[in-house]
Amino acid sequence: MFNPLVNFLKNLPCKVYCAPFDVRFPKKSKEDKDVFTVLQPDICVVCDKSKLDDRGCIGAPDIVVEILSPGNTKMELLHKYKVYEEFGVKEYWVVSQSDQNILIYTLNDLGEFQPSKLFTLSEKITSSVLPGFELELDDVFEDLD
């Protein structure tokens, strides 16, 4: 999943990063004292270079990808969902390896996530943030085996 994003973004201003990569969510300003939440998404795409510094990203990435593992708790997932929605992540992809599916939440004009249908094997996903990007799910889950 990482490599297709890297390849697609090669000549574009957006860049893709994978964990460990801190995403800091500030409450009032970008000052350290105002950062209350730090997450490490499995994969994220950042299109605004001004959000990048030597410690990662400050503010919402454009796309966040979380790959579920048996260790993920429902509370952890709910917390991340709320943080990503509150701070304006445009797309939040939740990848389930065990079920071999992806659910994409897209931020609407009201600042709320709208879920996509559940994408599964033999389907391809596209991104409203990255026009022209397509990802075959068969390839994604073949890579994760």
* Number of other CB atoms surrounding residue 77 within 10 Å: 13
On whether residue 125 sits in a domain, the answer given is yes
> pTM, whole model, 2 decimals?
0.90
C-alpha to C-alpha distances, 69 to 6, 89, 94, 104, nearest whole angstrom: 23, 22, 11, 17
Q: Domain range holding 46?
A: 2-140
Q: Indicate whether 88 belongs to any domain.
A: yes
Number of domains in the chain: 1
Give per-residue pLDDT as tens, 43-97: 999 999 999 999 999 999 999 999 988 777 777 888 999 999 999 999 999 999 8
CATH of the domain at 13: 3.90.1570.10
Higher pLDDT: 28 or 16? It is: 16
Residue 108 within any structural domain of the chain: yes
Nearest to 119 by CA among 136, 98, 107, 143: 136
